[in-house]
A and B are shown apart, each in its own frame.
Chain A
């Protein structure tokens, strides 16, 4: 065999497209992408601070009306293009689209540099739950743990290693296999914990706070904004999650019904996670404004009241770890998929290079809180918001909402989306996406960003 043949063979191998092994595996991987720290950590925290039941209802409403219609086209374009970000936008915009797709993929690369730090903390707390290290003085323990930067970095590397091993194993043998086990286990653990917490005598006062809608809050635009941004980004429209996983679909696989399944499970995961934290925080009169420390410094106090705190803590942090890792692998996969498409690198080599870049990028995030906060703001408010808005406007107005629906979404899908989608996508989704961009710019230029 000549050198030329060998080169062409290796290039073909590098470009060989992977597909999901089964419909169940694809749906579980998508749910894993959607149900991450945002669902189990951020959602209960924001719900507790913003009126409980009213916030949850707003969240469900916006998910149904805006987030689902925004997600369908992103998966559908990737299925049609049979590739991730780069191939999808190349199909729509030609060579310019390739550049746009590449720029989008930088957002998840930056995100993983600090997201993995929190996953590292969760990994540490899962292990700390076995001896019960953090139960004596949860707040002081968390502050001391957070302050030890070297330890924090080592746990980050641990979380990165788990993510890398799964991505290295491939889409079918790594991501899909992990999610098929982790996601059902995650939901079982969440259900058991929620039921246990709801059985505490007198907890109904907390459940009331979490469920009972307060009509007066419905007129509060600030709460609508919080619920909107939570719902808008929970399902991942924007910087390539849906494109990347959608690109691994076979040409005749369903788009619309499966994403509806993902949206319902993602919402269920959020609501369920809320049942674990919010009623207990209200009932035990703990600080609702604790913010990001809710999981690490407040919930251990709740577990202590339940009996078998180490088991409860271990189960909770294990569930959180599963949710977090299923998201970090989807984040890493976007960058890997894009680099493979653009530079035609071999997948395994690409995973290792992306992991190395992520580890290096995590260093300033671990040691400099101001840098981490600034990066978090840029990724969420510029990266996510603008990529989601550009995509929605491009697809709805340049390609055309009707074409997107008839030629990309509906063919071979179990759920045939009707003409109602056209005005919803064209006006409602685009307006909401552009509104979030404007809001981000106002915050940036008013100097309140970071």
Chain B
């Protein structure tokens, strides 16, 4: 795999993966309204 592909993959994992984990965590446990 090329370096630029690895960079893009890391960006997807951080932003999309992290975004999914954070938003679902807020949906299930936190936030103002459950």
Interface residues of A (CB under 8 A from B): 22-24, 27, 53, 57, 204, 207-208, 211-213, 252-254, 257-258, 260-261, 264-265, 267-268, 271, 412, 414
Please measure, in the bound complex, the distance between the C-alpha atom of A271 and the C-alpha atom of B5, giving whole angstroms: 14
Q: Are B26 and A414 in contact (CB under 8 A)?
A: yes
Chain B residues with CB under 8 A of A261: 23-24, 26-27
Q: Are B12 and A23 in contact (CB under 8 A)?
A: no
Interface residues in B1-34 (C-beta closer than 8 Å to A): 1-2, 4-5, 8-9, 12, 16-17, 19-20, 23-24, 26-28, 31-34
Interface residues of B, dominant DSSP? helix
Q: Are A253 and B16 in contact (CB under 8 A)?
A: no
Task: From the candidates A22, A24, A258, A264, name the one contacting B19 in the complex (CB within 8 A).
Answer: A264
By beta carbon, the residue of chain B nearest A265 is B20
Q: Are B1 and A207 in contact (CB under 8 A)?
A: yes
Q: Are B1 and A208 in contact (CB under 8 A)?
A: yes
- Min CB gap B31→A, angstroms: 5
Please measure, in the bound complex, the distance between the C-alpha atom of A11 and the C-alpha atom of B10, giving whole angstroms: 56
User: Which of A24, A207, A211, A265 has the most C-beta atoms of chain B within 10 angstroms of its own C-beta?
Assistant: A211
Task: From the candidates B4, B8, B20, B28, name the one contacting A264 in the complex (CB within 8 A).
Answer: B20
Q: Are B23 and A212 in contact (CB under 8 A)?
A: no
Given contacts A208-B1, A261-B26, 10 further A-B contacts (CB under 8 A): A27-B24, A27-B27, A53-B5, A207-B9, A212-B2, A257-B23, A261-B27, A264-B19, A267-B16, A268-B17
Q: Are B31 and A257 in contact (CB under 8 A)?
A: yes
Q: Are A412 and B33 in contact (CB under 8 A)?
A: yes
Interface residues of B (CB under 8 A from A): 1-2, 4-5, 8-9, 12, 16-17, 19-20, 23-24, 26-28, 31-34
Q: Are A258 and B16 in contact (CB under 8 A)?
A: no
- Min CB gap B17→A, angstroms: 8
Interface residues of A, dominant DSSP? helix
User: Which of A23, A53, A57 has the most C-beta atoms of chain B within 10 angstroms of its own C-beta?
Assistant: A23
By beta carbon, the residue of chain B nearest A254 is B33
Task: From the candidates A22, A208, A252, A414, name the one contacting B31 in the complex (CB within 8 A).
Answer: A414
Q: Are A213 and B31 in contact (CB under 8 A)?
A: no
Task: From the candidates B5, B20, B34, name the one contacting A212 in the complex (CB within 8 A).
Answer: B5
Q: Are A23 and B4 in contact (CB under 8 A)?
A: no
Please measure, in the bound complex, the distance between the C-alpha atom of A181 and the C-alpha atom of B16, giving whole angstroms: 22
- Min CB gap A359→B, angstroms: 36
Q: Are B24 and A208 in contact (CB under 8 A)?
A: no
By beta carbon, the residue of chain B nearest A184 is B24
Task: Given the known inter-chain contacts A257-B26, A261-B24, A264-B23, please indicate yes or no for A212 contacting B32, CB distance below 8 A.
Answer: no
Please measure, in the bound complex, the distance between the C-alpha atom of A24 and the C-alpha atom of B27, giving whole angstroms: 6
Q: Are A24 and B28 in contact (CB under 8 A)?
A: yes
Question: Would you mind naming 26 contact pairs between A and B with Cβ atoms under 8 Å apart?
Answer: A23-B34, A27-B24, A27-B27, A57-B8, A204-B1, A204-B5, A207-B1, A208-B2, A208-B5, A211-B1, A211-B5, A211-B9, A211-B12, A212-B2, A252-B33, A254-B31, A254-B32, A254-B33, A261-B26, A264-B16, A264-B20, A265-B20, A265-B23, A267-B16, A271-B12, A414-B32
By beta carbon, the residue of chain A nearest B6 is A211
Chain A residues with CB under 8 A of B24: 27, 261, 265
- Min CB gap B18→A, angstroms: 9
- Min CB gap A399→B, angstroms: 25
